[in-house]
Amino acid sequence: MKKSCCYYFLILSLFSINTCSAVEEIDTKNENNSDVIELKIEENNKIKTKIKNFPQDFGKPTGSYFDMFRSSGYTFEKGLIKNQKFRYFFHGANLFNARSDKDLSNTTQFIANELQSVTLFSDNKTILMAGFNFSRNTNYSNDFFEKISFLFLDKKINKNQNILLGEMRVPIGIEGGIPSSTLKLVSRSQIARTYGNYVSNGIQNTGKYKYIDYNIGFYDASRFLNNNFDGYEFASLITFKPLEKFNGKYGSLKIGGSIDTGDSENAFTITGAHASYNYKKFYADFEYLYANGNSGVYYGQGRSHGFYTTVSYFIHPKIELLGRYDFFQNLSNNNVSQEYTAGISYFFNPQTKLMLNYVFAKNDTNPIASHKIYIGMDFMSSYLMDLL
């Protein structure tokens, strides 16, 4: 029995490490113990005696094994790990694209198809986050490493600051640095698709205060654990919150800027500004980025810039209407690409929703505009497990 317990702990640890977005607060409370299955062993049984004498006894868990897939996770009374949960996240769509009556296409996009693991250690300050995207399109030599969405330790050093170490998203602006689970539309903006939307090895210091949030990090300029330590990268993002002293009376206003600079295959610098406003059912944002060199999935040279602005309104607690204008220009050849988006989303819960997006796209490189219809869905398994 001693060997079995050791094997169980080893397998659990390895699975946590090998299994995409922002770190969530872990709720370790047990909300329902009615489904706990207890194994009763007679007092004179030798197996029970060995369990009592096992030096790293985890103690009695506070819930059933199914709790591992709920948002509350599976909590241990003793041991190195206090709480463990697994979840599956999906973000994808069916895309209908038409440039003319003779140029029609229909494709299915599995943007995020992730198995995720969240491990809370017994100090209540350290979290191991891991995610593996089975359907990510691979562009590098090592397909397995490229499918790792994130793999990092998050250590809380005080009530306002955290240190992150490992493989994570680099905050190239706002939308380039957030996970798919927090996107308002099916597709990211053009500046996020071009400059951001990748992960790299690094260390981050994040801070959240009443009037200011920040993210400062140093990275090795690798992309998806390929070409490691072949260059460097520095990224920082700062956001001011001037209306916080009114406690939401006038809504929430955020304004700030960002910079990303480094040198790998070529030197690059990306600077930007962002703003957002949220008041009751209404939301609006704006983000602009200027790039001297490209630091995205593929490095590039030349200058470019772009911006997007989004507005949304909840006409019902579960129904959100959205609109977006998205502009991008390659300054080397002055080609302009524009996208106009209208959408509607229906929320089953905070991270499970259906999306319908219509996109009218124009590009100087193609004289015929395109019409795109996305029928998309976000799905997080832990939220649905809570309903069982």
User: What Rg do the C-alpha atoms of the chain give, in angstroms?
Assistant: 23
Dihedral pair phi/psi, residue 48, rounded to 5°: -65, -35
Q: What pLDDT does residue 69 have?
A: 85
Residue 312's SS3 state is strand
**pLDDT-wise least confident of 97-101, 115-119, 184-188, 242-246:** 97-101
Q: Which H helix or E strand runs over 52?
A: helix 46-53
**What residues are paired with 354 via a beta bridge?**
346, 377
pTM reported for the whole predicted model? 0.80
**Would you state the structure tokens that stand for residue 272, as one six-digit string?**
């930007």
CA distance linking residue 59 with residue 57, whole number of Å = 5
Does residue 106 surpass a pLDDT of 80?
yes
By CB atoms closer than 10 A (0-12, 13-18, 19+), residue 196 is buried
Does residue 3 surpass a pLDDT of 60?
no
Complete domains list, the chain, with CATH: 2-385 (2.40.160.10)
Does residue 154 surpass a pLDDT of 90?
yes
Contact predicate 62/83, CB 8 Å: no
Q: pLDDT tens across 327-380, in order?
A: 999 998 889 999 999 999 999 988 899 999 999 999 988 888 999 999 999 999
Amino acid at 290: Y
